[in-house]
Each structure stands twice: as structure tokens, then as C-alpha cells.
Structure 1
């Protein structure tokens, strides 16, 4: 199968909302997701996507910054591939494309967070060479 990997045009950011809604298991409304993506797209954020012909089948947000301990860093966020496309190496192909894309932009490291309960993602990221560096904490204000 031949997939198209690319950075989504900012004007089309809301096309990823249905996939991210599924990723969050409906815990965040589509209205709130649309509002948040509208704000995110104007901050050091890009959205990588995967198409199977014209059909959107995968998404991964990319946050760009410079950190004192690691240098120019990119953080993949909300990676989601439709269930019917999983298990055939698409995630690996997508990340290989992302590695090349961010490397060409001059970024040195990749950091990410994943939910403690998402053991499938842990296996994927360990296979990709990621190491656990610390804990991610969250406090609602």
C-alpha cells in the first residue's frame, strides 16, 4: 500500500479532530478540540498526517522548541492511526518520515509523553529507541 505523509496545511487543521476525538475516547468534545487546535496551530506546532489516497488515516502533532538540556527538540503529540490500519508497519513508516522531516529542519532530539495505561505505545516507542527519562506531571488549575 502506498501512503502519503505530509504536514497538514494550517487551514485544514480541523480535519484531524475526528481522529483525535477517537484517541481521547470522546472525553474531550469536538467543539473544544476545534477551539484548541485553532490556538495550537498559531504556536510552534505543526500537524503531520497520513493519507491513504484521499482518506485521512493517521495524525501526529509536532511541537517545536529549544530546551536547555537537550537543544532543539520536537515533541510528537496525539499520535493516532485508525484501527484498521494498525499492525502493518504504518506507524514505523510514519515515524521514519517524521524523523527525516524534523532532522531536515535542524532538530536534534525527540521527546514525548504517553499515557501510563497505553502499553502498546510503550512497546512501539521502545522499539523506536526511546528511553524513559522521567515522569510527566499534570495539575489542573
Structure 2
């Protein structure tokens, strides 16, 4: 199989909504996801995707910022690979592509959040060399 990794064009952002909907534990509706993505795509955000031929099989949002403790930083968000394609090393290939892509853009650190109950992702990120730095808190207003 030959997979294509690329940054999705802004006008195609709604293509990722069905994949992200499968991921979200909070079951935000697809309509709300579309609205939020239309805002996100105009912020410091890009969306990396994986195609298997013409089929969209994976997604990873990339948030860019500069942080006082890590410098120019990118945060992968809503990482999802279709169930059928898991366990084949595609996540590793995708992250290798992302590391290279963001490094070429001058970013020097990557940090992320993952759901506490998502044990498969924890194993993946530990294997990728990520370390736990702290806790992520949220308060809805």
C-alpha cells in the first residue's frame, strides 16, 4: 500500500469531520464540528491527513504557537486513523512525516493531550519518545 500524507487545503476541512466525530468522546455533533473547524482553519491551525488512494483514512490537527518553556511548538490534536488501518505501522509513518514537516517549518518541540482512557495512544506516544509533563485541565464556561 502507498499512503499519501499531506496538509489538507482549508476549503476541504469538512472532509475530516466524519473521522473526528468517531474520535470525540464528548459526542459533539457533526454540525458543531463543522462550525468549529471553519473557525479553527483560520487560526494557527493546519490539518494533516492520510489518504489510501482516494480514501481519507487518517487525520491529525496541528496547532502552532510559541511557549515560554518549549519555544516554537506544535500540538497534534484529534489524531485518528480508521479502525481498519490500525496496527499496520501507519501511525508511526504519519508521525515521522509530521515530525519532518514541522521541523522544516522551524518548530522545535511537540506536545499533546490524550484522553486518560485512551491507553493505546499512551503506548504509542511513549514509544515515540513523548514524556508526561503535566495534567490538562478544562473548565467549561
Indicate the TM-score class for this superposition, using the shorter chain for normalisation.
Answer: over 0.9
Structure 2 unpaired stretches of 5+: none
Match of 1:10 in 2: 10
The count of aligned residue pairs is: 141
Give distance in 2, aligned partners of 1:129 and 1:69: 18
Q: Counterpart of 1:5 in 2: which secondary structure?
A: strand
Match of 2:85 in 1: 85
Question: Where in structure 1 do 4 or more consecutive aligned residues deviate above 3 Å?
Answer: none
Match of 2:32 in 1: 32
Normalised by the length of structure 1, the TM-score is 0.99
Normalised by the length of structure 2, the TM-score is 0.99
The alpha-carbon deviation at position 7 of structure 1 amounts to 0.1
71 and 32 in structure 1: CA distance in 2 versus 1, 3 angstrom threshold: same
Residue-by-residue CA offset, 1:11-65 (whole Å, 9 max, x unaligned): 0000000000001157110000000000000000000000000000000000000
Match of 2:50 in 1: 50
Aligned alpha-carbon RMSD (Å) = 0.8
Give distance in 1, aligned partners of 2:137 and 2:26: 22
